[in-house]
Amino acid sequence: MTRRAVVTGASSGIGEATARLLRSRGWDVVGVARRADRLEALEAETGVVAHAADLTDADDIAGLETWLGETGGVDALVHIAGGARGSDRIEDGDAEDWRWMFEANVLSGQRLVASLLPLLRRAADASGHADLLFVTSTAAQVAYPGGGGYNAAKAGEAMLVRALRQELNGEPLRVIEIAPGMVRTEEFTLNRLGGDQDAADKLYEGVESPLVAGDVADVIVYALDAPGHVNLDLVTLRPVAQSAQHLLARGPLTTR
């Protein structure tokens, strides 16, 4: 039976890569993001069904729930949308940036769970299991200077995931957390740094083989395609050059 996944953040980066890979593996995929034009281009190329929505808007999430219920339900929620704004010290931070990060990374997840859980339960009853997968970050695990707002938002999302897994104990629902470290995508760092391309490029300067969106998509799809009784509670992945959140090698990787 063909399974259907909702992939948020599907207009770029990890979300787009995941939507593409799921389609190539035979899934039906609904791509959700704000930018309808990019979703429509993805739909024309891959068959991912475009559904434009702002996940910080409760009405848009309610509309997504209604549309999914009318068009076949959903077997997997793959919540990748989110993001970071700013890299200021806490004392210099912009409260509106912090508010946006909490809404985009935490409240969007809570609203999606509240709206889509009945559909996911229905799918689990029909097929044996359903999935809720969240892409958090190693920023949820270790704080760093200039990351306070993003650390707080991603830690909040990670706690949502871990509490949800316990609340759903006894149901055939897998709750999966994927926490990437350094990933070079077209927009994440650029958006975080206010569009400063030079500053974004400098972050990755000299780093051999940072992760790319497809690397994270591979892990996401592996988790979803694993046997239904196997739950990958938490997968942390980093490039080899990043041994820890604060320990990043710049230059060629060589043996001693």
Query: pLDDT at position 124, please?
Result: 98
222 is catalytic: no
pLDDT at 187 over 80: no
pLDDT at 130 over 90: yes
Half-sphere exposure of 189 (CA within 13 A, CB side): 17
144, 150, 204, 222: the catalytic one is 150
Domain-embedded: residue 131: yes
The answer to whether position 141 is within a domain reads yes
45 part of a folded domain? yes
Does the residue 256 lie in any domain? no
Number of domains the chain is built from: 1
Tens-place pLDDT, residues 94-120: 999 999 999 999 999 999 999 999 999
Q: Kindly tell me the sign of the dihedral angle through the C-alpha atoms of 82, 85, 87, 88.
A: negative
Q: What is the CATH number of the domain that holds 68?
A: 3.40.50.720
Q: What is the pLDDT of residues 193-232, one digit of tens each?
A: 888 888 888 889 999 999 999 999 999 999 999 999 999 9
Q: What are phi and psi of 100, to 5 degrees?
A: -60, -45
Angle between the 108-127 and 148-167 helix axes, to the nearest 10 degrees?
Answer: 30
Residue 50 lies in a domain: yes
The structure tokens 């629902």 sit at: 173
**pLDDT band at residue 83, thresholds of 50, 70 and 90?**
very high
pLDDT in tens, 10-50: 999 999 999 999 999 999 999 999 999 999 999 999 999 99
- Rounded Cα gap, residues 133 and 181, in angstroms: 17
Q: What is the domain extent for residue 63?
A: 4-248
Rounded to two decimals, the pTM is 0.95
254 in any annotated domain: no
pLDDT band at 192 (very low <50, low <70, confident <90, very high): confident
The chain-wide mean pLDDT, for the chain, equals 96
Answer yes or no: is 229 within a domain. Answer: yes
Does residue 255 belong to any structural domain of this protein?
no
Within 9-103, residue ranges assigned H as helices are: 13-24, 36-46, 58-71, 95-102
